[in-house]
Amino acid sequence: MSAPLTLLESADLLGRYRYVELSLFSALGRRALSCEPQLAVYLSGASLAHSWRAGEVESRLPVSVGLPGVVALTRSPAPEIDEAVEVLVGEGAGSDVLDALLGAFYPAMESAYEERAAAASPVADAPVLRLLARLRADLAALRREGSLVSSRLGAPGPTRREEVDALLAVPGGAFGALRAARAVGARPRPV
């Protein structure tokens, strides 16, 4: 196992989590307005869940003189993540949206949360570990609920999921790499 993340690395990563959660809150809420009723209900609920998770993540951002604030930390991990969100909720069949959400975006998020938990210090990161457990449990519940809705929709096409998967892979996952090249407010690490 590698060394635990520094305070600034952890704050940077939490800020990226918050950004993606807020992006999905907005995008899924927008997309719910143009879906068949059963999918609209699911996407509306998923949107609210993303809002809740963003708030939970914000509550774990470190606050202190000299540290970047919430606004500075809440930033996109990479342009490909923003593009993946737009592809996810783009025009087309609702079954494609749900398939890409459940088959690409949510697994990438769960994987990133698990990777962060594995890199945590049990003592220093105990609050973050509790947060990650809640985030993963909520995503698992959303995936179960989404699977029920998916079984009632038409068969999805493979294109949207594959495109979202490919975009998420470029920066190293739904939130980018565990350790960013340079944490917000930190000095660059020597190579």
Find out whether 100 and 146 touch, Cβ atoms under 8 Å.
no
Domain range annotation of the chain: 7-169
The more confident residue out of 29 and 182 is 29
Which DSSP helix (H) or strand (E) runs through 176?
none
- pLDDT tens digits, residue range 26-85? 999 999 999 999 999 999 999 999 999 999 999 999 888 888 999 999 999 999 999 999
Return the structure tokens found at 129.
């570990």
> Burial of 118 by CB count in 10 Å (0-12 exposed, 13-18 middle, 19+ buried)?
exposed
The pTM score is 0.91
Given the candidates 1.10.150, 1.20.1260, 1.10.3470, 2.40.128, the CATH classification of the domain at 7-169 is: 1.20.1260
pLDDT of residue 121: 86
